[in-house]
């Protein structure tokens, strides 16, 4: 038998389409390298849908080629879909090579971009070698570096990023066109000769003439100064976390009474000095996204870090260096406060002019650079539960990478999110694009960031929504903006109940197509019956839901005010149970209340109409309050966090409750807590019981 002929018969040509995050991540060179190694002919190019390959060889080799590419994906690559079509093999002798071809130009954009990521090992090693990138704080390659924060428009090319202000030197350009190097089409490629650079300025914007601005900044921080540091997605305020005075000054200047600050530790060994680090925590801390990870303080915490960093909190938010600048600046043994440069609840400041305007009264010095941050992006926050990382805030390092949700509609939707800790979402078919953490929509600056970022997503990912989804709340900024958009664009407005949307989001993420009993224990959300919901048991199926049960309703004296001041609701529980005859400990508690509490006390005895709520979050606040852990919030969830911290290692006991098939009545439990506290039972045991 003629084997030559046999082999010839099996020659095929495949058109292979890769979608996902496949551009700007070193994907074409990888394809080209494997094609050459396997003796495959054809071509590869980027287009608006991702990467397209035509490959010609025998079937086994082609299959090996496709498998290998998927196994050997570059660091930042996320292939979401591969499709293969058979086409007629080329008989042209000129087609024996494999080449990287020009991208065809067409209008639509169907590809995604990767998040801003920490430097890869190769870049970290290069930073320690003498040369153009020794300690260079803007080092990057196709496997790492800034993306989301610098891209102005698509397709992703240097001219459409904020790196367009810098012209590559000859050496950088050679790397940029070298198909075998890790900087082939690395759009932000730069070195100290041609790229951006840092400067140290005083708070009035005057240049500090020093030999080494990094050494000087380190010295200033160790002497107690507060530095505004421009990084990847915005400004941070930095000071020494071991220095009480520096932390206190930062709190005073930032008007941030006791909301915890996050820490950047110079290395993982240092984290173990002051926090308990499980294997899961370690993975989360060193993940490519480098989020802030919430860790349990250890017994040594107080000896190691200022108590003012995270008072009344058993947790401490910690991150490891994530930008090249951190690897240059943050010493191995550093424990630095690194908190977003903004007013509490606002979006992170990223514009240089605004930074000087607003941070001038807080920072002593500015360590800033001359590359524009096009889009702000705040640090992400992760909590590891049973070795599984749970994202509490999905922002830098994660966005704008899509989340694949198999069961959602093909139609592009824009969902506005809520007003507190806003995150909006839109979709391109089954790929959901979540917005960054915008902050609380309570100031003009967050409103602007919100509107600008939505508009940017539409432009960047070419999403044209066919419907707008918003929270039912009548006065949320996000809801009203959505209603207005739907009118302007003449699109249907779909109003969703707050807690139903929490459960529906989980159903979409986990592709739950069957009926689900969702339990949503939340703060407050607008209910269907004009009360405020937040302790909900919902039977959900597809887009439908039924509220099958909920936590008992209790008045929220003063409405919104009672959210910030849980003592108001606590007073109602006390009067409702004890009437005039409060136990001594609560008589004493009355003296800790803000001035004018008697007015509310009197009103509670009248038939004043009050907002009613079934919120679980409010109940946690009330219990914390009744256990003497605080009467007012200076930041969101402060008292609930104090309550959790108070549990320590106590087991607690089972408390009473009633359930009639519709209402989970926890009032008996609240009463037991009040009785226990007034009879001298320990706060930690009562906190744990609840
Ligand atoms: Zn790199
Ligand atoms: Zn250069
Ligand atoms: Zn909520």
SS3 label, residue 10: coil
Per-residue model confidence (pLDDT) at position 153? 87
From ligand 1's centre to the CA of 143, what distance in Å?
5
Residues with CB under 5 A from ligand 2 (ion): 169, 172, 191, 193-194
Nearest to 453 by CA among 436, 474, 477: 436
Same domain, 402 and 294: no
Q: Which ligand is nearest to the CA of 497?
A: 3
Residue 375 within any structural domain of the chain: no
Q: How many domains does the chain have?
A: 5
From ligand 3's centre to the CA of 502, what distance in Å?
7
Give the CATH number of the domain where residue 178 resides: 3.90.870.30
Tell me: pLDDT of 7 over 70. no
Residue 382 within any structural domain of the chain: no
Tell me which of 156, 175, 196 is where a domain ends: 196
Tell me which of 336, 369, 402 is where a domain ends: 369
Q: How far apart are CA 613 and CA 600, in angstroms?
A: 18
From ligand 2's centre to the CA of 193, what distance in Å?
5
What digits encode the pLDDT tens for the residues 606-623? 888 899 999 999 999 999
Q: How far apart are CA 163 and CA 25, in angstroms?
A: 17
Same domain, 559 and 477: no
From ligand 3's centre to the CA of 184, what distance in Å?
44
pLDDT interval class at 112 (50, 70, 90): confident
Q: How many helices (H) and strands (E) does the chain have?
A: 23, 29
Per-residue model confidence (pLDDT) at position 3? 39
Q: Which ligand is nearest to the CA of 118?
A: 1
Taking a C-beta distance cutoff of 8 angstroms, is the pair 114, 25 a contact? yes
Task: Write out the two tokens for 199.
Answer: 């400067």
Taking a C-beta distance cutoff of 8 angstroms, is the pair 545, 499 a contact? no
ipTM: 0.96
Residue 374 within any structural domain of the chain: no
Tell me: pLDDT of 48 over 90. no
From ligand 2's centre to the CA of 280, what distance in Å?
39
From ligand 2's centre to the CA of 115, what distance in Å?
23
From ligand 3's centre to the CA of 231, what distance in Å?
30
What digits encode the pLDDT tens for the residues 373-411? 999 999 999 999 999 999 999 999 999 999 988 888 999
Lowest-confidence region among 195-204, 388-397, 495-504, 643-652 = 643-652
Per-residue model confidence (pLDDT) at position 105? 67
Per-residue model confidence (pLDDT) at position 449? 95
From ligand 3's centre to the CA of 400, what distance in Å?
22
From ligand 1's centre to the CA of 500, what distance in Å?
42
From ligand 1's centre to the CA of 192, what distance in Å?
16
Cis peptide leading into residue 400 (ω within 30°): yes
What digits encode the pLDDT tens for the residues 172-188? 999 999 988 999 989 99
From ligand 2's centre to the CA of 120, what distance in Å?
19
Same domain, 541 and 418: yes
* Average pLDDT value for residue range 410-423: 95
Query: Where does residue 551 fall: left (phi above 0), alpha (psi -120 to 50 degrees), or beta otherwise?
Result: beta
Please list, residue by residue across 360-379, b when 16 or more beta carbons sit within 10 angstroms of its beta carbon and e when fewer do.
eebbbbbbbbebbbbbbbbb
From ligand 3's centre to the CA of 564, what distance in Å?
16
Residue 32 within any structural domain of the chain: yes
Per-residue model confidence (pLDDT) at position 103? 78
Q: Which ligand is nearest to the CA of 617?
A: 3
Q: Which ligand is nearest to the CA of 324?
A: 1
SS3 label, residue 327: helix
Per-residue model confidence (pLDDT) at position 224? 98
**CB neighbours of 585 closer than 8 A, spacing ≥ 6?**
677, 678
Residue 108 within any structural domain of the chain: no
From ligand 2's centre to the CA of 132, what distance in Å?
7
Per the model's pLDDT, the better-predicted residue between 570 and 89 turns out to be 570
Give the CATH number of the domain where residue 16 resides: 3.30.70.100
Same domain, 405 and 545: yes
Q: Which ligand is nearest to the CA of 420?
A: 3
**Between the CA of residue 543 and those of 337, 549, 572, what are the distances in Å?**
44, 19, 37
| CA dihedral for 675, 680, 681, 682, sign (positive or negative) | positive
Beta-carbon neighbour count of residue 335 at 10 Å? 23
Which residues span the domain enclosing 242?
198-369
Q: How far apart are CA 345 and CA 257, in angstroms?
A: 13
What digits encode the pLDDT tens for the residues 420-455? 999 999 999 889 999 999 999 999 999 999 999 999
Q: How far apart are CA 120 and CA 126, in angstroms?
A: 10
Taking a C-beta distance cutoff of 8 angstroms, is the pair 623, 690 a contact? yes
Q: How far apart are CA 660 and CA 680, in angstroms?
A: 32
Q: How far apart are CA 217 and CA 336, in angstroms?
A: 12
Same domain, 440 and 479: yes
From ligand 2's centre to the CA of 189, what distance in Å?
7
* Average pLDDT value for residue range 45-55: 89
Tell me: pLDDT of 128 over 60. yes
From ligand 1's centre to the CA of 324, what distance in Å?
10
Query: Percent of the chain having pLDDT more than 70?
Result: 97
SS3 label, residue 501: helix
Tell me: pLDDT of 1 over 60. no
Same domain, 141 and 120: yes
From ligand 1's centre to the CA of 629, what distance in Å?
48
Taking a C-beta distance cutoff of 8 angstroms, is the pair 399, 438 a contact? no
Lowest-confidence region among 27-41, 101-115, 189-203, 307-321 = 101-115
Per-residue model confidence (pLDDT) at position 2? 42
DSSP-derived secondary structure letter, 398 = T
- E-assigned strand segments in 241-380: 263-265, 275-276, 292-297, 315-319, 335-340, 365-369
Per-residue model confidence (pLDDT) at position 5? 41
Same domain, 275 and 147: no
From ligand 1's centre to the CA of 69, what distance in Å?
20
Please list, residue by residue across 306-327, b when 16 or more beta carbons sit within 10 angstroms of its beta carbon and e when fewer do.
bebbbeebbbbbbbbbbbbbbb
N- to C-terminal Cα distance for the chain?
A: 81
From ligand 2's centre to the CA of 100, what distance in Å?
24
Tell me: pLDDT of 109 over 70. no
Residues with CB under 5 A from ligand 1 (ion): 120, 123, 141, 143-144
**445, burial (CB in 10 Å: exposed 0-12, middle 13-18, buried 19+):** middle
Per the model's pLDDT, the better-predicted residue between 154 and 515 turns out to be 515
Q: Residue by residue, what is the 3-state secondary structure of 87-155?
A: ECCCCCHHHHCEEECCCCCCCCCCCCCCCCECCCHHHHHHHCCCCCCCCCCCCCECCEECCCCCECCCC
Tell me which of 67, 100, 133 is where a domain ends: 100
Same domain, 244 and 307: yes
Task: Round the average pLDDT of the chain to a whole number and report it.
Answer: 93
Give the CATH number of the domain where residue 585 resides: 3.30.420.40
From ligand 2's centre to the CA of 177, what distance in Å?
13
Same domain, 598 and 673: yes
Q: Which ligand is nearest to the CA of 422?
A: 3
Per-residue model confidence (pLDDT) at position 534? 97
Mark out the alpha helices in 515-596 (DSSP H runs): 560-564, 567-578, 584-590
From ligand 1's centre to the CA of 156, what distance in Å?
18
Tell me: pLDDT of 145 over 80. yes
Residue 512 within any structural domain of the chain: yes
* Average pLDDT value for residue range 182-200: 96
**Between the CA of residue 600 and those of 562, 580, 630, what are the distances in Å?**
11, 14, 18
Paired strand residues for 538: 518, 547
Task: Write out the two tokens for 369.
Answer: 């650079």
Give the CATH number of the domain where residue 284 resides: 3.90.870.40
Q: Which ligand is nearest to the CA of 121?
A: 1
Same domain, 597 and 576: yes
Per-residue model confidence (pLDDT) at position 25? 87
DSSP 600-615: HHHHHHTT---EEE--
Residue 600 within any structural domain of the chain: yes
Q: Which ligand is nearest to the CA of 503?
A: 3
Same domain, 580 and 673: yes
Tell me: pLDDT of 339 over 70. yes
From ligand 2's centre to the CA of 650, what distance in Å?
59
**517, burial (CB in 10 Å: exposed 0-12, middle 13-18, buried 19+):** exposed
Per-residue model confidence (pLDDT) at position 9? 57
Residue 384 within any structural domain of the chain: no
* Average pLDDT value for residue range 191-211: 96
Same domain, 343 and 426: no
Q: How far apart are CA 414 and CA 479, in angstroms?
A: 12
* Average pLDDT value for residue range 235-242: 98
Give the CATH number of the domain where residue 474 resides: 3.30.420.360
């Amino acid at each position: 038998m003629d084997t030559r002929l046999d082999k010839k018969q099996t020659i095929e040509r495949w058109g292979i389409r890769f979608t996902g995050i496949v551009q700007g991540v070193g994907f074409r060179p990888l394809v080209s390298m494997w094609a050459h190694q396997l003796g495959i002919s054809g071509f590869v190019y980027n287009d608006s849908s991702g990467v397209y390959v035509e490959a010609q060889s025998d079937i086994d080799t082609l299959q090996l080629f496709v498998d290998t590419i998927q196994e050997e994906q570059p660091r930042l690559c996320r292939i979401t879909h591969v499709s293969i079509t058979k086409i007629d093999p080329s008989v042209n002798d000129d087609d024996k090579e494999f080449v990287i071809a020009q991208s065809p130009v067409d209008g639509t954009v169907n590809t995604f971009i990767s998040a801003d990521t920490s430097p890869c090992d190769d870049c970290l090693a290069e930073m320690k070698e003498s040369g153009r990138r020794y300690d260079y704080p803007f080092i990057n390659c196709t496997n790492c570096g800034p993306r989301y924060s610098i891209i102005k428009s698509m397709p992703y090319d240097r001219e459409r990023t904020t790196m367009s202000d810098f012209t590559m030197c000859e050496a950088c350009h050679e790397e940029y066109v070298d198909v075998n190097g890790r900087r082939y089409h690395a759009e932000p490629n730069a070195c100290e000769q041609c790229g951006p650079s840092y400067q140290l300025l005083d708070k009035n914007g005057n240049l500090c003439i020093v030999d080494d601005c990094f050494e000087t900044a380190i010295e200033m921080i160790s002497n107690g100064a507060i530095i505004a540091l421009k990084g990847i997605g915005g400004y941070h305020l930095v000071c020494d976390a071991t220095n009480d005075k520096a932390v206190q000054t930062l709190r005073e200047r930032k008007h941030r009474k006791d909301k915890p600050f996050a820490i950047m530790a110079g290395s993982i060994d240092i984290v173990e000095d002051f926090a308990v680090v499980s294997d899961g925590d370690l993975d989360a801390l060193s993940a490519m996204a480098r989020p802030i990870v919430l860790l349990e303080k250890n017994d040594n915490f107080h000896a190691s870090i200022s108590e003012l960093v995270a008072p009344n909190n058993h947790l401490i938010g910690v991150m490891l260096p994530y930008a090249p600048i951190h690897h240059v600046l943050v010493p191995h043994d550093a424990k630095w406060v690194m908190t977003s440069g903004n007013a509490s609840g606002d979006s992170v400041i990223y514009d240089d002019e605004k930074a000087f305007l607003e941070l001038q009264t807080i920072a002593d010095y500015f360590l800033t650079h001359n590359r524009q941050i096009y889009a702000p992006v705040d640090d992400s926050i992760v909590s590891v539960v049973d070795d599984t990382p749970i994202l509490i805030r999905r922002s830098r390092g994660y966005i704008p990478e899509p989340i694949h949700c198999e069961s959602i509609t093909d139609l592009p939707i824009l969902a506005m999110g809520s007003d507190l800790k806003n995150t909006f979402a839109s979709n391109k078919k089954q790929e959901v694009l979540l917005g960054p953490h915008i902050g609380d929509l309570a100031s003009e600056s967050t409103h602007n960031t919100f509107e600008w970022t939505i508009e940017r997503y539409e432009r960047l990912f070419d999403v044209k929504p066919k419907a707008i989804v918003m929270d039912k709340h009548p006065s949320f900024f996000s809801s009203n903006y959505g209603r207005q958009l739907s009118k302007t664009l003449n699109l249907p407005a779909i109003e969703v109940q707050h807690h139903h949307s929490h459960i529906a989001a989980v159903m979409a993420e986990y592709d739950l197509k069957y009926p689900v009993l969702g339990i949503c224990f939340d703060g407050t959300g607008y209910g269907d019956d004009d009360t405020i919901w937040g302790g909900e048991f919902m039977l959900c199926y597809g887009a439908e839901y039924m509220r099958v049960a909920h936590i008992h309703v209790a008045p929220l004296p003063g409405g919104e005010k009672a959210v910030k001041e849980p003592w108001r609701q606590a007073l109602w529980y006390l009067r409702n149970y004890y009437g005039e005859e409060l136990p001594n400990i609560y008589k004493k508690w009355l003296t800790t209340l803000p001035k004018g509490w008697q007015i509310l006390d009197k009103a509670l005895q009248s038939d004043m109409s009050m907002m009613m709520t079934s919120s679980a979050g409010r109940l946690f606040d009330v219990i914390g309050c009744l256990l003497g852990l605080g009467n007012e919030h200076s930041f969101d969830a402060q008292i609930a966090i104090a309550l959790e911290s108070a549990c320590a290692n106590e087991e607690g006991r089972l408390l009473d409750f009633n359930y009639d098939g519709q209402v989970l009545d926890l009032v008996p439990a609240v009463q037991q807590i009040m009785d226990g506290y007034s009879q001298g039972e320990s706060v930690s045991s009562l906190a744990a019981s609840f």
